[in-house]
Amino acid sequence: MIINRKVCTFAADLTENILGKFAAFKLPLKGMPVGVQTFEYHLGGDFFRDMESADVLHGDVDVNLSVKCTGDAYELNFKLTGSIYVACDRCLDEMELPVDTTYHLTVKYGDEYNDESDDVLVIPESDSYLNVAYMLYDTVALTIPLKHVHPVGKCNKKMSSVLKKHAVDDEEGGEATYGEYGDDENENENNNNDDDSTDPRWDALKQLNDNN
């Protein structure tokens, strides 16, 4: 098997550059004394922007991390509180979602990296630290509900009008009515019944949102 060294070097450099953005989230494991250590982090605009994810637009989340070192393992207990902002499924304007969640993980050293378990992570002996940035982001992202829309009457009125117009046109053509896609006046009952499939209505909304 021939390994392209240039490709391997590029991949290593890319990984280092990405993790370099999150240098503040390096958790020093080796050399940590037996007992409990506490760490504080803040997930702000720069953090979510560097993640380059479309799920979270920005946020303001405080993280308290308690690490219990037992000598042969590290018990990590995360507590995250604050708010994040995501795009409304209906009008595409941003909306605020509260964050109040916890996450527990046990980290051990082993021969090679292994994350097959949900609550136990094995890392190579050569790693002197653990970068927790991505697990923090994943923990935040898991708090986002499957369907997230503004409360009734809070959606962007212009966006809602465009959606209603397209829905009425479809109804005349024998397709779905606007109510199925979230009329503000009938939203409470229909929030959980939206179709996840691609729909041309969203193209019009996105175009209008981009123009604004």
Per domain, the residue ranges of the chain are 10-141, 157-211
Helix, strand, coil percent values for the chain (each to nearest 5): 35, 30, 35
Tens-place pLDDT, residues 90-104: 888 999 999 999 999
- Strand pairing of 58-69 and 26-28? unpaired
Tens-place pLDDT, residues 174-194: 544 434 444 444 444 444 444
Q: Digits of tens for pLDDT over the chain (212 positions)?
A: 344 433 333 333 334 444 578 999 999 998 899 999 999 999 999 999 999 988 999 999 999 999 999 988 999 999 999 999 999 988 889 999 999 999 999 999 999 999 999 899 999 999 999 999 999 999 999 999 999 999 888 888 887 677 767 666 555 555 444 344 444 444 444 444 444 445 555 566 566 556 65
For CA atoms 21, 128, 111, 68, give the dihedral sign: negative
